[in-house]
Chains A and B, each alone.
Chain A
């Protein structure tokens, strides 16, 4: 049965079993490959997207359960029009392999929407579920602080 979704402000209709996780709908059906597959069990955070502004692991949200508008990394900003969080990521030269960074940025965006001035401890708590095998954590933390400052000025 076709399912309708709103992703990054656009409507999409897909014809897939209800239990297919949102991650794979995004990647293999819609072609939005910015959201990454890392573990499939909500243990790494690489697949983080937002549903109605809440950060969720898209590998654990079944297509049939998507309850609101989906925002992916592609919806946050583009290379020519980056969001302030993405700009901070570039300013701090955060990414190494870069594979986890879409998830990191989506998690950080949800944090900053809820808490405009997070402390180090609050950042650590919010980001604890997002793994980075390259160990970019110090730069992620710095970029979140910079983004917080720049978002307040805007």
Chain B
């Protein structure tokens, strides 16, 4: 948590650019509710620098992790829309770790409501609660929250800056501010005089920012349209800097090996062979692992592999089956939550037909394309860190804790991320990089994990089980009673941050308790399995398993009821949540769904409401000489407001492909306490020839803006399973599907 002292220092750091001839604008000016910025609650707001103008030009700050989702561009577009600057004429930077860059949307997401049914009042409560993010220094990217978070705040930041610059111009020209306009980074006077923003920056810094009203959406130039991404040229020319690309003078390269029995300690090691290998400079005892610092990364990897280590045992049952026995045992414990309890599920309605099913899903790795890495230098009682991360303030504080320093003594530089998917919301890789650098004070060291180290030391998507009981009568669902059992990724992640947690874990049941179906007797309970396997947030989190459980079971209920599975879902949804029904109707129409397919073709529908966005998908599979290929897909989502439809489309396809990869091939298993999979040959993912041809429709009827980065993932898994059922008559109640089906690789 940020102290007042830290706030003051950070203010100066950002503000120093203003002092040397520029001005930093922030929503502090917009929301300044009291004059003293060093009042703790207000002081946090004093740290809101999103627009910086100096003599060199305009810099916008987009302090969200750019891990592929396009946030850097759309965040900057929100500011640029009101500031009247051209995105190709400004710099867009991530900025430092700062409480000022708190995520105002994330905490509101934790309210115990279903999301789709919230009133405007509840929506506002969520926004108000989001201010707690400031107090917690919640500088985090995740939960598909960035646009909900930035939509108002960033336009306000841009508008306030614009009006302040106009006021500076008005004073210089001796005219009324209202007579001035702005375009492309310039203030324009009625006589045609143009003054570029940089010439007004110093004067603007002396002006108390005036009130600014936000523009009507009808005037938007950027928002609602696809804006070319600011990172696209860099990423097409190999010049975008990822964490692994950071190069510093005299830098050394390291690699690491931690106990493969995750969380276990280290009894001892013998590095004599490694120390004699070419390029090796230093062997580092990491207390639970070892690292080698060498002249290049590959030499470091060879040497660290040559160290003989005696590891301690794993603090969890060492075999996969034993882990799932523990997960199943959680069903017999008191429910951690009953987030939905409509009607009475204890009695089977008269004349109804009952169905039960048990599902089991594996642990999953994130497998970002860029393996975990971090670069750090330790000198003079300070640590400077460079790397991709989704949580800069937590990264900073954990490095400080590791080095025995105050958070003020740590600087975090956030680079582009070669994928995040939740993995880079952790800070283990940053802490390891800092520890390695501390072994050679004054020398910058980049620590890169091998792919095997990355895959075997993840914070996995929890393995999960569901026991579902349902009943249908007269073609309709009359009862649905679901139990979910898994480790709590939320509780574990909070524990790593040192934040006590407890109570109902909404994340454990999201994607099951909050689905927009009108079923009169409807209960969802969550059971927490107490295991020490490291688990974390994997793209769409609880929805990634609950989407499969809930939607596959609905498909089973539809078949039992003898109703077309798409129409079955629609029937229960159309009055409960029309935007969700609209998504189903859209994919029905796009795909020409008839409920009937040729013998060698199967189609399945999947639906999940998550992160405020309903997403329906239809997946088509074809049997080609007994090998099954995923041929086509149709996706419809309702974003409420799609700030960049091109980016939303890309995220929907991306989320679906990520989900299909997991559904087809993804599985982390354990033997002797160690993860068995190590590299892509053991952890296959979709490729160009195995990914479907996809059509996307982005709808905008939902009342509140939804997220984009994750909601495409959950429905992909049931949609594919349902398609395989349509094709083969075999119902998949476990994943991955390549265990039971001969899928094209």
Question: Residues of A at under 8 Å CB distance from B?
Answer: 16-17, 20-21, 23-25, 27-29, 31-41, 43-44, 46, 72-74, 76-79, 82, 86, 89-90, 93-102, 105, 123-125, 127-141
CB proximity of A56 to chain B, nearest CB, Å: 16
Q: Tell me which of B236, B419, B680 has the highest count of chain A C-beta atoms within 10 A of its own C-beta.
A: B236
- For B296, the chain A residues whose CB sits under 8 A away are 16, 20, 24-25, 28-29
| A33-B421 Cα distance, complex, nearest whole Å | 23
Q: Which of B278, B421, B680 contacts A131, CB < 8 Å?
A: B680
Q: Which of B68, B240, B297 contacts A134, CB < 8 Å?
A: B68
Q: Tell me which of A21, A41, A133, A139 has the highest count of chain B C-beta atoms within 10 A of its own C-beta.
A: A133
- For B656, the chain A residues whose CB sits under 8 A away are 135
| A101-B245 Cα distance, complex, nearest whole Å | 15
The reply to whether A98 and B691 form a contact with Cβ atoms under 8 Å apart is no
The reply to whether B237 and A135 form a contact with Cβ atoms under 8 Å apart is no
The reply to whether A38 and B658 form a contact with Cβ atoms under 8 Å apart is no
The reply to whether B228 and A101 form a contact with Cβ atoms under 8 Å apart is no
What are 7 contact pairs spanning A and B, CB under 8 A? A95-B229, A98-B418, A125-B689, A134-B369, A135-B656, A135-B691, A138-B691
Q: Which of A46, A98, A140 contacts B235, CB < 8 Å?
A: A98
Report B677-721 residues with CB < 8 Å from chain A CB: 679-681, 685-689, 691, 693-694
Known: A133-B368, A133-B658. A124 touches B688 (CB 8 A): yes
Known: A96-B70, A124-B689. A20 touches B369 (CB 8 A): no
| A101-B295 Cα distance, complex, nearest whole Å | 27
Q: Tell me which of A37, A74, A94, A123 has the highest count of chain B C-beta atoms within 10 A of its own C-beta.
A: A37
CB proximity of A90 to chain B, nearest CB, Å: 5
The reply to whether A24 and B298 form a contact with Cβ atoms under 8 Å apart is yes
Say whether B239 faces chain A, with CB atoms less than 8 Å apart.
yes
The reply to whether B650 and A99 form a contact with Cβ atoms under 8 Å apart is no
- For A39, the chain B residues whose CB sits under 8 A away are 451, 679-680
Q: Which of A34, A44, A125 contacts B369, CB < 8 Å?
A: A44
Known: A28-B253, A34-B238, A135-B654. A141 touches B688 (CB 8 A): yes
Interface of A is mostly: loop
Say whether B5 faces chain A, with CB atoms less than 8 Å apart.
no
Say whether B329 faces chain A, with CB atoms less than 8 Å apart.
no
Would you give the 0/1 interface string for B169-210, flagging 1 where the beta carbon is closer than 8 Å to chain A?
Answer: 000000000000000000000000000000000000000000
- Chain B's closest residue to A39 (CB) is B451
Say whether B585 faces chain A, with CB atoms less than 8 Å apart.
no
Known: A33-B245, A43-B681. A133 touches B235 (CB 8 A): no
Question: Residues of B at under 8 Å CB distance from A?
Answer: 67-70, 226, 228-229, 231-242, 244-245, 247, 253, 278-279, 295-299, 301, 367-371, 416-421, 448, 450-451, 646, 650, 653-658, 661, 679-681, 685-689, 691, 693-694
- Chain B's closest residue to A24 (CB) is B298
CB proximity of B379 to chain A, nearest CB, Å: 22
| A55-B368 Cα distance, complex, nearest whole Å | 23
Q: Which of A25, A82, A123, A133 contacts B688, CB < 8 Å?
A: A123
Beyond the given A34-B239, A39-B680, A130-B688, could you list 10 further A-B residue pairs with CB under 8 A, ordered by the A residue number? A20-B296, A24-B296, A31-B247, A36-B242, A72-B238, A79-B234, A93-B228, A93-B229, A96-B70, A133-B685
- For A24, the chain B residues whose CB sits under 8 A away are 296-299
- For A20, the chain B residues whose CB sits under 8 A away are 296, 298-299
| A97-B584 Cα distance, complex, nearest whole Å | 30
The reply to whether B680 and A86 form a contact with Cβ atoms under 8 Å apart is no
- For A102, the chain B residues whose CB sits under 8 A away are 238
The reply to whether A74 and B688 form a contact with Cβ atoms under 8 Å apart is no
- For B420, the chain A residues whose CB sits under 8 A away are 97
CB proximity of B598 to chain A, nearest CB, Å: 22
The reply to whether B681 and A41 form a contact with Cβ atoms under 8 Å apart is yes
The reply to whether B419 and A40 form a contact with Cβ atoms under 8 Å apart is no
The reply to whether B688 and A86 form a contact with Cβ atoms under 8 Å apart is no
The reply to whether A36 and B650 form a contact with Cβ atoms under 8 Å apart is no
CB proximity of B518 to chain A, nearest CB, Å: 33
Which 5 residue pairs spanning A and B have beta carbons closest together? A34-B238, A135-B657, A99-B418, A98-B235, A97-B68
CB proximity of B666 to chain A, nearest CB, Å: 11
- For B369, the chain A residues whose CB sits under 8 A away are 36, 38, 44, 46, 97, 99-100, 131-134
CB proximity of B219 to chain A, nearest CB, Å: 25
Known: A39-B451, A90-B233, A135-B658. A128 touches B688 (CB 8 A): yes
| A149-B302 Cα distance, complex, nearest whole Å | 45
| A64-B116 Cα distance, complex, nearest whole Å | 61
The reply to whether B654 and A134 form a contact with Cβ atoms under 8 Å apart is yes
CB proximity of A20 to chain B, nearest CB, Å: 6
CB proximity of B92 to chain A, nearest CB, Å: 15
| A91-B165 Cα distance, complex, nearest whole Å | 34
- Chain A's closest residue to B416 (CB) is A98
- For B245, the chain A residues whose CB sits under 8 A away are 33
Q: Which of B298, B448, B650, B655 contacts A139, CB < 8 Å?
A: B650
Q: Tell me which of B68, B229, B693, B694 has the highest count of chain A C-beta atoms within 10 A of its own C-beta.
A: B68
Known: A93-B226, A131-B369. A44 touches B238 (CB 8 A): no
The reply to whether B450 and A40 form a contact with Cβ atoms under 8 Å apart is yes
CB proximity of A22 to chain B, nearest CB, Å: 10
The reply to whether A101 and B235 form a contact with Cβ atoms under 8 Å apart is yes
- For B368, the chain A residues whose CB sits under 8 A away are 97, 99, 133
The reply to whether A82 and B236 form a contact with Cβ atoms under 8 Å apart is yes
| A95-B233 Cα distance, complex, nearest whole Å | 9
